Amino acid sequence: MNASTHIGFLGLGNMGAAMALRLLHPESQLHVFDPNPDAVAQLVAVGAIAHASPRSVADSASVVMACLPSSAACEEAIFGQDGVAAGRLMRTYVEMSTIGPTAIVSIANRLSQKNIGTIDAPVSGGPAAARAGALTIMLSGNGDDVARATRWLGFIAKKIHRLGDQAGQAQAMKLVNNIMLAANMAVASEALAIGAKAGLNADVMSEVIRSSTGQSAAADILARCALTGAFDFGAHLSIVAKDVELAIAEARALEVPVPVLDEARCLWKTAIEQGRGRDDFTSILKIVEERGDVLVRGAMQQ
């Protein structure tokens, strides 16, 4: 195999592992790193090659993707003592984490000094969509870099939206999307709690909402993953709370008032302060239920 058939992947959490699995093909070789040995072992069991550091991955693959939980984790994976920036072979770095425009622009500028291109490519869709290769990717970056990575991105995504040629544009779009999700999850939880306490059946509410103007992705997610009592979308609450903070910081930098988002932030911040960061993000409904002394569940969960 030549260098173009080797792909690297950093970060094997719920989303990262699902995406990495999509990159396993007979005609290519997948190189992976994660500080969690159990996560690595699961990929190795199906054909991936484990590495002891991000740098080692970048010594083996010309394109390296990353799906990490924070900008600090990205900084360490790229520019730390054993980061990919020091790798011998990597020519294109694909950042799939949600870290905000400021962070990705800084990363891209520093990598460009090492003649390494950066693709800004945050994703949306959740673990189930990742496993099915049906994610949405918001993408921005230099055309040559995008061309090198397009083949790999096609294994992961059903839709790829090109936002522009500059790193930061895709991150901005991801924050736009996540602002809507976070605020809608908060208000949808409150609306369902009001309805339940007024005596409405949760299943009936969901059915009506699906065919009415209140329909939204948030309402659908709550119906599928929360009203069942499962709380199993597959994304930690801390991830959404982090994205809300990134969005508010970006709004402040752009001098755009966001009073509604500020209010929604209070609910997500409360969840973190209560130690619920590792709970599924659909469990935001539980906080609303507790505040209102009401339970919002479908008929099978009453």
Long-range contacts, stretch 287-292, CB < 8 angstroms, 24+ apart: 287/189, 288/186, 288/189, 288/190, 288/192, 288/193, 289/193, 292/193, 292/194, 292/197
What does DSSP assign to residue 85?
G
For every residue of 139-205, DSSP letters joined together read: EES-HHHHHHHHHHHHHHEEEEEEEESSTTHHHHHHHHHHHHHHHHHHHHHHHHHHHHHTT--HHHH
Rounded CA separation 282/268 (Å): 11
Per annotation, catalytic residue among 114, 158, 159, 174: 174
Rounded CA separation 286/267 (Å): 11
Active site residue 174: yes
Residues identified as active-site:
174
